[in-house]
Amino acid sequence: MSTTDFDLVVIGGGPGGYVAALRAAQLKLSVAVVEGNHLGGICLNWGCIPTKALLRASEINHLLHDLGQFGFTVDNPRFDFEKVVARSRAVSKQLSGGIGHLLKKARIPVFNGFGKLNGTDGKKRKITVALNDGSTTELKAAHVILATGARARVLPGFEPDGKFIWSYREALVPDILPRRLLVIGSGAIGTEFASFYRNMGSEVTLVEVADRILPVEDEEISKLAHTAFEKQGMKILTSAKPGPLSKGKDDVTVEITTARGTEKLTFDRVISAVGIVGNVEKLGLENTKIEADRTHIKTDHLCKTGEPGIYAIGDVAGAPWLAHKASHEAVMCVEAIAGLPVHPIDITKIPGCTYCRPQIASVGFTEAKAKAAGYQIRVGRFPLIGNGKAIAMGEPEGLVKTVFDAKTGELLGAHMIGAEVTEMIQGYVIARTGELTEAELKETIFPHPTISESMHEAVLAAYDGALHF
């Protein structure tokens, strides 16, 4: 056993953990990271990044089959599926290595293993690390940040088996491009996989237990996404219960029950994307005052747990399960530890993005939630068919929607569906963060020609009326 003392030990090297360590080093705190797998966590290695690489490939495949509208002719466009997957893995590997370089540059030691809280030694917390080489070391720190992330929730009867039933991990490194694919769950993860495989040529059935797909999004956006996906050839079943499942030699048959009855459908593969559970096991929480609620650690507005000196950030600390939320929590938490003034996070100012085709992005209150919260609202809508750049790009389908407080002019929420909206939502996020009203937004000049002009038009539509529709 070797012992090393630090101001801060971060357990977990994902987008919350490694950012916390980097910020701590900037603030001259001695800090170490404990990571048992790959730096960058699920996001970089098995989530955000590799899925975007795959989705980019599927967008290209779609475009290759739709070049006629631009005056091009391509005979029998083909792809090498193994190379498509290999590129996504290479992208993840490159970025994971980049994080290692950043930590090394900041002189932050990384302990490759799994950390567990193990009591105190005076004013210091003890962390026992089971290293991947089989040895053990003990770290001590005045402060500990738990950033252990989360993993896929397992749907009973649809446990991943490495062949027929996939979690997001198997779906990212598939053994085949399935001809018939069932995706269970229409949140961001399920919708992105459904979009990728459909645009690569799979026959996709998307099943959702709620009464609409993308249930956390504004209802109007959900309906537009539903229409767009069906137009692409996707089969969508809502208010649906999947199971039981029976396995054959080369495929599986699944019973799916809806209000119309029960039908048996056969698929080559099934992706289960029904949420996530926090990684709270084997952290030594049982000997602390830390509380977990449905696998997520309870924290206050500054990420403090019930145990003094121990904090939790990112997915393990609960929704929203977003990498950028984890990174922002990391900075806020470390700055609070360092004694700097900080602003607690307002989750209504955190954007959410889904990178399907068409893309979806939102921030703040939906129309329904704004009404439920008691606001008198003004709603603006602008369809992308009225935007010159969208038409020029061949991407005229979509909508930008704004929700304002009718009394104060505060932007309560914004919801977008269409080409590149994930790159534009930040404009509305800045407006929410800066507490801008319709007055400032109406006076903001948007460059022409850009799809972002639709954001301005959606503001005008809530008040004097859009100019171009």
What are the tens digits of pLDDT across the range 154-182? 999 999 998 999 999 999 999 999 999 99
Sign of the torsion angle spanned by Cα atoms 323, 327, 329, 333: positive
Q: Which domains does the chain have, with CATH numbers?
A: 5-151+277-347 (3.50.50.60), 165-274 (3.50.50.60), 358-462 (3.30.390.30)
Q: Is 343 a catalytic residue?
A: no
The active-site residue out of 62, 328, 448, 456 is 448
Q: pTM for this one?
A: 0.95
Confidence band, pLDDT 50/70/90 cuts, at residue 2:
low
Contacts of 430 (CB under 8 A, 6+ apart): 436
Q: What whole-number distance in Å separates Cα of residue 269 and Cα of residue 7?
A: 48
Q: What is the pairing mode between strands 31-35 and 3-11?
A: parallel
Section 197-205 average pLDDT: 98
Section 107-125 average pLDDT: 94
Does 187 show up as a binding residue in the annotation?
yes
pLDDT digits (tens, 9 = 90+) for 249-262: 999 999 999 999 99
pLDDT digits (tens, 9 = 90+) for 31-80: 999 999 999 999 999 999 999 999 999 999 999 999 999 999 988 899 99
List the beta bridge partners of residue 31.
8
Continuous segment of H or E residues that includes residue 420: none
Residue 122 confidence (pLDDT): 86
Angle ∠(315,319,325) on CA atoms, nearest 5: 65
Section 425-453 average pLDDT: 97
Section 193-201 average pLDDT: 98
Does 350 show up as a binding residue in the annotation?
no
Q: Rounded to the nearest 5°, which phi and psi values hold at 465?
A: 110, 140
List the beta bridge partners of residue 4.
139
Contact (Cβ atoms closer than 8 angstroms) between residue 239 and residue 210 = yes
Contact (Cβ atoms closer than 8 angstroms) between residue 270 and residue 164 = yes
Does 115 show up as a binding residue in the annotation?
yes
Does 208 show up as a binding residue in the annotation?
yes
List the one residue out of 411, 408, 405, 403 whose CA is nearest residue 375.
405
Count of CB atoms situated within 10 Å of the CB of 298: 14
Residue 1 confidence (pLDDT): 45
Confidence band, pLDDT 50/70/90 cuts, at residue 3:
low
Does 7 show up as a binding residue in the annotation?
no
Contacts of 30 (CB under 8 A, 6+ apart): 5, 6, 7, 8
Sequential DSSP letters for 186-234? -SHHHHHHHHHHHHTT-EEEEE-SSSSSSTTS-HHHHHHHHHHHHHTT-
Does 188 show up as a binding residue in the annotation?
yes
